[in-house]
Amino acid sequence: MKTRILGSTGYELEVSPLGLGCMGMSFSYGPPKDEVEMVQLIRKAVELGVTFFDTAEVYGPFLNEELVGKALAPMRDRVVIATKFGFDLDPENGHDPARGLPGLNSKPEHIKRAVDGSLKRLNIDVIDLLYQHRVDPDVPIEDVAGTVKELIEAGKVRRFGLSEAGIDTIRRAHAVQPVTALQSEYSLWWRKPEEAVLPLLEELGIGLVPYSPLGKGFLTGKIDKTKAFDSSDFRSRLPRFTPEAMDVNQAMVDLLKGIADAKEATQAQIALAWLLAQKPWIAPIPGTTKLHRLEENLGALHIQLTTAELERINAAADDIQLVGNRYPEALEALTGR
């Protein structure tokens, strides 16, 4: 499998073009999945050429890091492990997911405790890529970047990343400790990063790691307005997943299907191929809990969209008015700071 380079300025990171987002194995998309099956899936991903694995302390909380650490222990030297800090979690007692997300905490001492906890749960000596999960408005980003810089110098972290940060925050952080990658939602379902974020990343030499590159499953064509989400699935609370919104937004899936049929591919593969074609420094992390979906997603690497096809997709997508915010107001307020 070919690789992609995230970042520059001496803090480059070489990863597979598609990574694996592991969140849904333990968090947000219903109850935690069977550990044995998920370990097998993660290890199969490595066999298939995936080298980039994404987790976070808040996924569970803590369960997902433990799962990823267990799964990747036998092949640690072959993979890149990314995790995140930034929520106010108690390392001993965690947090009850039924209460929603905890508050933010990126105070330097908390970051250091979080890193020590992640290292232990992942059973590794160093974190390859450490993201601030969400920007904490109560802590100057210079203090955050400086703390991560200290952790890099201490040998506990290799690279620094941000998640859903705004352009001013990215610039300020990058001036203290070079940022290797920004993780943000980006897909045909959510193209806002194209306005200001992508140009800035290109200017600074920062990679982009799109999460939810398949629109939280909607762009696969396997979900429609008749789908009923269990209360343990966070999509049950997202404005874009109301029956009314999905009915209108089906137009985007239909667009993908037209291209997919012509290419003898699936909607998911076309959505990922489109994303991969945007910039050579983009490495999406689609998540799945099923082997056949993992294999399907990786099939996108063999699809080459022509300039004409990309222009057709972009022009048609521009004419589609998607309905519904991607997050409830309180969660959306945590992004773009």
Task: Report the C-alpha gap between 260 and 112 in whole angstroms.
Answer: 46
Task: Report the C-alpha gap between 61 and 170 in whole angstroms.
Answer: 27
- For helices 243-263 and 307-318, angle between their N-to-C axes, nearest 10 degrees: 160
Task: Report the C-alpha gap between 16 and 18 in whole angstroms.
Answer: 5
Task: Report the C-alpha gap between 218 and 2 in whole angstroms.
Answer: 28
Q: Residues 98, 103, 108, 109: what is their CA dihedral angle, to the nearest 10 degrees?
A: -50
3-state helix, strand, coil in the chain (%, to 5): 45, 15, 40
3-state DSSP assignment of residue 93: coil
Closest to 134 measured CA to CA, from 90, 100, 103: 103
Q: Which two tokens mark 116?
A: 């020590």
Q: 33: left (phi > 0), else alpha (psi -120 to 50), else beta?
A: beta
Beta-bridge partners for 158 = none
Task: Report the C-alpha gap between 320 and 82 in whole angstroms.
Answer: 34
Catalytic status, residue 59: yes
- For helices 267-276 and 243-263, angle between their N-to-C axes, nearest 10 degrees: 80
End-to-end CA distance of the chain: 35
Q: Which of 59, 131, 186, 211 is catalytic?
A: 59
Helices (H), the chain: 35-47, 63-72, 108-122, 141-153, 167-176, 197-204, 243-263, 267-276, 291-298, 307-318, 329-332
List active site positions: 59
